[in-house]
């Protein structure tokens, strides 16, 4: 038999397991139009729902007249808050412990807010019905600036007026949500007072939006005969949605089946619960028919979860030689009309307290004030777990600001402050235990790869030429060394609505030796069907091609908390390895029985168990699988299945070193990204090609955010970026070319040593692009300037610095 002579290496390669750049199995469907997205779901007699939305950012709703709308052919019902109130469904709980109007209840708090829900026989009739609903508004003063909101007499949340306690402690003002403090305030202030050098700056990370290719949507189908509700939707956390729907609707959880079909990108946008879900469920119960709701692009950009909008006031203290001695940060967080941030319960500002970054900073203090304004609610990740991208932007900008103050090279300043390899596990001043890292090695590799010293020489020459009038283009060199925190998370400190953030995997091996594994996570494009099979292939010796990965159906998948915060690999990936090990343990007993030796006398060898010391006596996993169903083995149950619910002991801390070289035209404000180098360390790598794709995608989103993407409002609260004409999405024309690289520092607590990677490129690239812009103007005295660095803003910088003659 060919199999018997194959070397272990050849057998191993045949499995396409860990470390293999296996082609994405899902792409056969995706590239041939065989994907199955929410909008592809068409059920018998299905109706459509659409929203009447508020044109005002702040107004009283005086009256809603649905009479004309109900006359529109095809319109069957129009729901308003008055219809939902008797069911207790006119408000819904948010992930952040606040509550949010499902449909406008007396007033509206942001432009685009849901006011009424029209149900009709098709999309077009629903749209006509929306036009025909007459709403009378009475405008109220608008607050779009969080600092003004904290001073203003205008009460945004009248439902909370007089409530001095919020979900996260005391409220200081009627537009204040919470204060969150971490670290040692007194010690930090003392260090600041006594330091050789203190650099201080306001770092603003503007409001943006994940804007996935596919917008949010759902199909709710209530079967009145069986009493079973099936809810298809673009959910990044299907099980959590099932529990939430059960809690707020009163429908028993076993009678709810939530299915996330294929998802066309999530990026955090599809974590929260939206009014469209609640209204569709109610409409299906009322009409007895399936009801579909799918946002259009404007709906998505105006009303579903935004990201960032953090004003971060920083102070960083150092010795004259550049050794950082302390960090202070106060953040004003603009949460919009409702606090609907998607963060673990105990972390109202997410993991913002990772803002000490990659540096060994002895003392630090962070405080965050959450504020209501007349903007859309949300506050999701957008490819950075729980405010990590804000934290990374803050510290990586502060390092640059400090380098200016010290008149030091920013690469060297980073190097002398990095946490050293021998300091891991490292306890940070703001409360995290970094699991592993080797920052110096990564940094040196990165600087060498780009030829850092030569780049600085070229930059200096260019500056001379510029001053001599020979060129109008400057060179900026952007540096970033980021530390991410992903894999929420230990159940002891991370939960969402009380649900501990473990994750799960269940495996069934079929008699012929192929398998299915189901997980509590859900891919939105990451390629889980490809990579989780690779983990299993290496763990249990069955080729990845013979393993089906299934996610997203709560009737079949084990309970899990879903996919966001790059938690799938650190948590569900670990569960997969652990479940695989349970399979292997039983397989070992079966093999020993078949080989008539003691359990301890066989050992695992790639795809089989061999008798120790006698490689010619073995049973392959295929044979073992068959025996599990075919032989009565004393003391063993038939079958070969396992399930693991994994509660990680810690998060994982991926990191990376990014370097960007940019040319900036001083007269037009235009930029050209000449090169972008990204070194990522995500521990053990499962699929290098998928990792590379993740870096390309995430860095492109980072490029968009840093260089143009913005959710902007005018003073009246009008949303200025509700279409793709105004909201910048880079095409292949603008997208830079990336050079990727890596080091491997495994996570010591993860069963296969893997850390997450999906978010890293966004966390790392935004400060890198921004630092490049700042660096170009450093010789002319630029210290800080707010993103996005679009052509107009860059032109303004140059103009403000007197570079236009």
Is 113 noted as a catalytic residue in this protein?
A: no
Q: How far apart, in whole angstroms, are the C-alpha atoms of residue 240 and residue 441? A: 40
C-alpha distances in angstroms, 698 versus 287, 472, 736? 42, 31, 12
Region near ligand PCD per CB under 6 A, out of 138-146, 189-197, 355-363, 690-698:
690-698
592, interface contact from Cu ion, ligand PCD, none, CB < 5-8 Å by kind: none
Angle, to 10 degrees, between the axis of helix 439-450 and the axis of helix 452-467? Answer: 50
DSSP of 728-740: ----TTTPPPEEE
Is 759 noted as a catalytic residue in this protein?
A: yes
774, interface contact from ligand PCD, Cu ion, none, CB < 5-8 Å by kind: none
Using the rule CB under 6 A, which residue among 290, 558, 580, 683 binds ligand PCD? 683
Angle, to 10 degrees, between the axis of helix 760-777 and the axis of helix 791-800? Answer: 30
Do 210 and 709 meet the contact criterion of CB atoms below 8 Å apart? no
Exposure b/e, 4-42, CB count within 10 A at least 16 = b:
eeeeeeebbebbbbbebebebbbeeeeeeeebebbeebe
Region near ligand PCD per CB under 6 A, out of 152-160, 287-295, 361-369, 688-696:
688-696
Q: How far apart, in whole angstroms, are the C-alpha atoms of residue 68 and residue 695? A: 52
Taking residues 293 to 332 in sequence order and writing x for each that binds ligand PCD by CB under 6 A, - otherwise, the string is ----------------------------------------
697, interface contact from ligand PCD, Cu ion, none, CB < 5-8 Å by kind: ligand PCD
Q: Tell which positions 370-389 bind ligand PCD, by CB under 6 A.
A: 380-383, 385
C-alpha distances in angstroms, 340 versus 214, 272, 337, 377, 388? 21, 8, 9, 6, 17
Q: How far apart, in whole angstroms, are the C-alpha atoms of residue 161 and residue 141? A: 17
Q: Tell which positions 213-242 bind ligand PCD, by CB under 6 A.
A: 236
- Is the CB of 221 or the CB of 684 nearer to ligand PCD? 684
- Is the CB of 123 or the CB of 749 nearer to ligand PCD? 749
Q: Least separation, in Å, of the C-beta of 265 and ligand PCD?
A: 4
543, interface contact from Cu ion, ligand PCD, none, CB < 5-8 Å by kind: none
Region near ligand PCD per CB under 6 A, out of 127-135, 189-197, 518-526, 621-629:
518-526
How do the residues of the chain divide into helix, strand and coil, expressed in percent and rounded to 5? 35, 25, 40
C-alpha distances in angstroms, 15 versus 380, 531, 539, 618, 704? 38, 12, 10, 18, 38
Q: How far apart, in whole angstroms, are the C-alpha atoms of residue 703 and residue 717? A: 26
- Is the CB of 268 or the CB of 648 nearer to ligand PCD? 268
Query: Are β-strands 602-605 and 608-611 bridged in parallel, bridged antiparallel, or unpaired?
Result: antiparallel
Q: Least separation, in Å, of the C-beta of 147 and ligand PCD?
A: 27
Cα angle 338-341-342, degrees, rounded to a multiple of 5: 145
Q: Which residue is nearest to Cu ion (CB)?
A: 381
Is 313 noted as a catalytic residue in this protein?
A: no
Q: Tell which positions 259-288 bind ligand PCD, by CB under 6 A.
A: 265-268
The active-site residue out of 24, 53, 383, 608 is 383
Q: How far apart, in whole angstroms, are the C-alpha atoms of residue 230 and residue 44? A: 14
326, interface contact from ligand PCD, Cu ion, none, CB < 5-8 Å by kind: none
Using the rule CB under 6 A, which residue among 118, 706, 757, 794 binds ligand PCD? 757
Q: How far apart, in whole angstroms, are the C-alpha atoms of residue 141 and residue 126? A: 32
The active-site residue out of 390, 396, 551, 759 is 759
Q: Least separation, in Å, of the C-beta of 683 and ligand PCD?
A: 6
Joined tokens for residue 401 = 């600001």
Q: Three-state SS for 248?
A: helix
Q: How far apart, in whole angstroms, are the C-alpha atoms of residue 150 and residue 152? A: 6
Q: How far apart, in whole angstroms, are the C-alpha atoms of residue 260 and residue 522? A: 8
Q: Least separation, in Å, of the C-beta of 521 and ligand PCD?
A: 6
531 lies in the binding site for ligand PCD (CB under 6 A): yes
Q: How far apart, in whole angstroms, are the C-alpha atoms of residue 279 and residue 44? A: 19
Binding residues for ligand PCD, total number by CB under 6 A: 39
Using the rule CB under 6 A, which residue among 377, 525, 552, 736 binds ligand PCD? 525
Q: Least separation, in Å, of the C-beta of 432 and ligand PCD?
A: 18
Return the number of other C-beta atoms located less than 10 Å from residue 748's C-beta. 14
- Is the CB of 237 or the CB of 624 nearer to ligand PCD? 237
Is 253 noted as a catalytic residue in this protein?
A: no
Q: Tell which positions 557-576 bind ligand PCD, by CB under 6 A.
A: 563-569
Region near ligand PCD per CB under 6 A, out of 86-94, 240-248, 362-370, 523-531:
523-531
Among 588, 607, 608, residue whose Cα is nearest residue 597? 588
Q: Least separation, in Å, of the C-beta of 156 and ligand PCD?
A: 27
Task: Give the residues lining the site for Cu ion (CB under 5 A).
Answer: 381, 384-385
The contact set with ligand PCD (CB under 6 A) reads 236, 265-268, 380-383, 385, 524-528, 531, 563-569, 682-687, 690-691, 694, 697, 754-759
**Residues designated catalytic:** 236, 383-384, 759
């Amino acid at each position: 038999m060919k199999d018997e002579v194959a070397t272990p290496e050849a057998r191993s390669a045949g499995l396409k397991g860990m470390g293999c750049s296996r082609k994405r199995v899902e792409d056969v469907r995706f590239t041939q139009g065989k994907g199955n997205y929410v909008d592809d779901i068409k059920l018998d007699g299905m109706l459509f729902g659409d929203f009447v939305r508020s044109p005002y950012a702040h107004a009283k709703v005086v009256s809603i007249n649905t009479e004309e709308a109900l006359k529109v052919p095809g319109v069957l019902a129009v729901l308003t808050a008055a219809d939902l109130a008797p069911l207790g469904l006119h408000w819904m709980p948010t992930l952040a412990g606040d509550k949010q109007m499902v449909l406008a209840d007396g007033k509206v708090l942001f432009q685009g807010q849901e006011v009424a829900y029209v149900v009709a026989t098709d999309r077009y009739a629903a749209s006509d019905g929306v036009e025909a609903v007459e709403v009378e508004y009475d405008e109220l003063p608008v607050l779009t600036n969080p600092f003004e909101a904290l001073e203003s007499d205008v009460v945004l949340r009248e439902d909370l007026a007089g409530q001095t306690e919020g979900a996260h402690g005391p409220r200081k003002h009627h537009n204040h949500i919470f204060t969150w403090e971490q670290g040692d305030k007194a010690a930090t202030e003392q260090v600041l007072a006594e330091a050789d050098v203190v650099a201080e700056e306001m770092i603003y990370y503007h409001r943006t939006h994940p804007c996935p290719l596919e917008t949010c949507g759902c199909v709710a189908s209530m079967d009145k005969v069986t009493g079973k509700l099936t809810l298809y939707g673009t959910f990044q956390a299907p099980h959590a949605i099932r529990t939430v729907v059960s809690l707020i609707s009163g429908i028993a959880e076993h009678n709810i089946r939530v299915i996330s079909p294929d998802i066309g990108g999530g990026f955090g946008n599809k974590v929260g619960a939206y009014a469209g879900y609640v209204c569709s469920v109610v409409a299906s119960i009322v009409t007895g028919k399936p009801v579909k709701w799918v946002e259009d692009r404007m709906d998505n950009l105006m009303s579903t979860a935004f990201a960032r909008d953090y004003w971060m006031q920083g102070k960083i203290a150092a010795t004259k030689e550049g050794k950082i001695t302390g960090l202070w940060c106060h953040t004003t967080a603009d949460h919009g009309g409702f606090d609907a941030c998607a963060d673990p319960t105990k972390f109202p500002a997410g993991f913002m307290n990772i803002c000490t970054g990659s540096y060994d900073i002895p003392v630090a203090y962070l405080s965050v004030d959450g504020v209501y304004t007349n903007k859309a609610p949300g506050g999701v990740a957008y490819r950075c777990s729980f405010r990590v991208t804000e934290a990374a932007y803050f510290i990586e900008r502060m390092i640059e600001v400090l380098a200016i103050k010290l008149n030091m090279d920013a690469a060297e300043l980073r190097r002398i402050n990095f946490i050293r390899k021998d300091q891991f596990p490292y306890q940070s001043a703001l409360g995290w235990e970094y699991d592993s890292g080797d920052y110096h090695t990564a940094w040196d590799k990165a600087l060498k790869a780009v030829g850092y010293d030569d780049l600085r020489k070229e930059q200096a020459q260019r500056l001379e030429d510029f001053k001599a009038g020979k060129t109008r283009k400057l060179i900026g060199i952007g540096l970033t060394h980021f530390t991410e925190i992903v894999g929420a998370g230990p159940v002891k400190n991370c939960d969402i609505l009380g649900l501990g953030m473990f994750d799960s995997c269940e495996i069934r091996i079929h008699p012929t030796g192929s398998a299915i594994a189901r997980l509590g996570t859900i891919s939105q494009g990451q390629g889980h069907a490809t990579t989780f099979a690779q983990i299993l292939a290496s763990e249990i010796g069955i080729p990845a091609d013979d393993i089906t990965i299934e996610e997203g159906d709560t009737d079949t998948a084990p309970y899990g908390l879903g996919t966001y915060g790059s938690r799938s690999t650190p948590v569900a990936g670990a569960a997969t390895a652990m479940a695989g090990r349970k399979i292997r343990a039983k397989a070992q007993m079966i093999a020993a029985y078949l080989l008539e030796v003691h359990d301890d006398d066989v050992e695992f060898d790639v795809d089989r168990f061999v008798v120790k010391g006698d490689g010619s006596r073995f049973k392959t996993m295929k044979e073992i699988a068959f025996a599990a169903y075919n032989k009565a083995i004393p003391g063993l149950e038939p079958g070969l299945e396992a399930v693991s619910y994994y509660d990680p002991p810690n998060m994982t801390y991926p990191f990376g070193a990014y370097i960007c070289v940019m040319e900036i035209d001083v007269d037009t404000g235009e930029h050209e990204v000449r090169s972008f180098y990204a070194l990522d360390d995500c521990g053990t790598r499962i699929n290098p090609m998928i990792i590379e794709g993740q870096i390309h995608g995430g860095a492109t989103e980072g490029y968009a955010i840093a260089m143009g993407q913005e959710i902007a409002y005018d003073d009246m609260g009008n949303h200025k970026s509700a279409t793709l004409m105004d909201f910048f999405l880079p095409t292949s024309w603008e997208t830079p070319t990336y050079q990727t690289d890596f080091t491997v520092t495994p996570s010591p607590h993860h069963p296969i040593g893997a850390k997450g990677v999906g978010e890293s490129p966004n966390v790392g690239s935004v400060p890198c692009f921004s630092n490049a812009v700042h660096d170009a103007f450093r010789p002319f005295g630029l210290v800080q300037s707010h993103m996005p660095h679009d052509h107009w803003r860059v032109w303004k910088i140059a103009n403000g610095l007197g570079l236009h003659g």
